[in-house]
Amino acid sequence: MNIEIINTAFSIPDEAYVDQRVPKKMLLEQDIPTSADKRHIREGVDEIRWIAALKPNNIGIPEYKDDLRNYSEISILTMKLRQIAKHSRLVELTHRMIPYPLVLISIHGKQASLSLAHKRWSQNEAGKVVVDRVHCIGFDDFDISEETTVTFLNSLAISKQPSTSLFSVYQGWLDCIAALEAARITGQFTLPISGKRSKELQKALDEYAELQKNINTLQVQAEKEKQLNRRLDLNLKIKQLQAELADNKDRIGGNKTKGEEPKANY
């Protein structure tokens, strides 16, 4: 999947386009934590382009400001990475270095990714912006033909997002990412119908990822374990976690809430 496919899905108005190359020098002049991070930028980034700047006057949606956040503009950037690039670290660094809420579309080899991260004012340093968390979803060349990916791309248009403010637009895109993550587990792409459901879905997705990670770790341990009793104990723990995983999958699909007993079938 290439950058243009994802970029086109947003249906950006002509008035919002910028389409300017961003020199790596501008990134290197930012407050970057370590010399290793600077090396990652120099050696891993091939090209960055500023595609669009979404503002109230070019998309007709109000800005959002409160004591925590300032969403007066949303930037859309594309980033092409070299094969040796540390993808996840460069995505995180880019979100941290761009002061505006950022939609980042990146290409690394044959894989594309879309990442977003809410931002807020730092409580400790005046004028500094803090990234809450980077949400990143990846695609490879095979994903473009999958029904869930097509549905996801069709959900990204600006006109389809909540239009209360630029903050609600940005949260709408985060909900689209969460819905695709859920669809890759359940097979169904369903957008959260409320802010409460959005938080429940994200929590369930986080717990699913943690459970899957723990299961994988135990399975590796069980394969290497030579003592029969110990292996049986590990397999029992795996089955318990797999039961939790199945329950979590139901919550991701919206079929139950945490702690709810399964409904009996008569």
Closest C-alpha among 161, 170, 107 to residue 135: 170
Q: What angle do CA 9, 11, 13 make, to 5 degrees?
A: 155
Q: Are 75 and 98 in contact (CB under 8 A)?
A: yes
pLDDT values of the chain reduced to their tens digit, one per residue, 266 residues: 567 888 889 999 999 999 999 998 888 887 777 889 999 999 999 999 999 999 999 999 999 999 999 999 999 999 999 999 999 999 999 999 888 999 999 999 888 999 999 999 888 777 788 999 999 999 876 555 588 889 999 999 999 999 999 999 999 999 999 999 999 999 999 999 999 999 999 999 999 999 999 999 999 999 999 999 999 999 999 999 999 999 999 999 886 555 544 332 21
> Are 69 and 121 spatial neighbours (Cβ–Cβ below 8 Å)?
yes
d(CA 198, CA 162): 13
* pLDDT confidence of residue 125: 77
Res 200: pLDDT: 95
For residue 29, the model assigns a pLDDT of 83
The pLDDT of residue 4 is 82
pLDDT of residue 64: 97
Query: With the CA atoms of 196, 200, 201 and 207 taken in that order, what torsion angle do they form, in degrees rounded to the nearest 10?
Result: 160
Q: What is the pLDDT of residue 49?
A: 95
- At 74-103, the pLDDT tens digits run 999 999 999 999 999 999 999 998 889 999
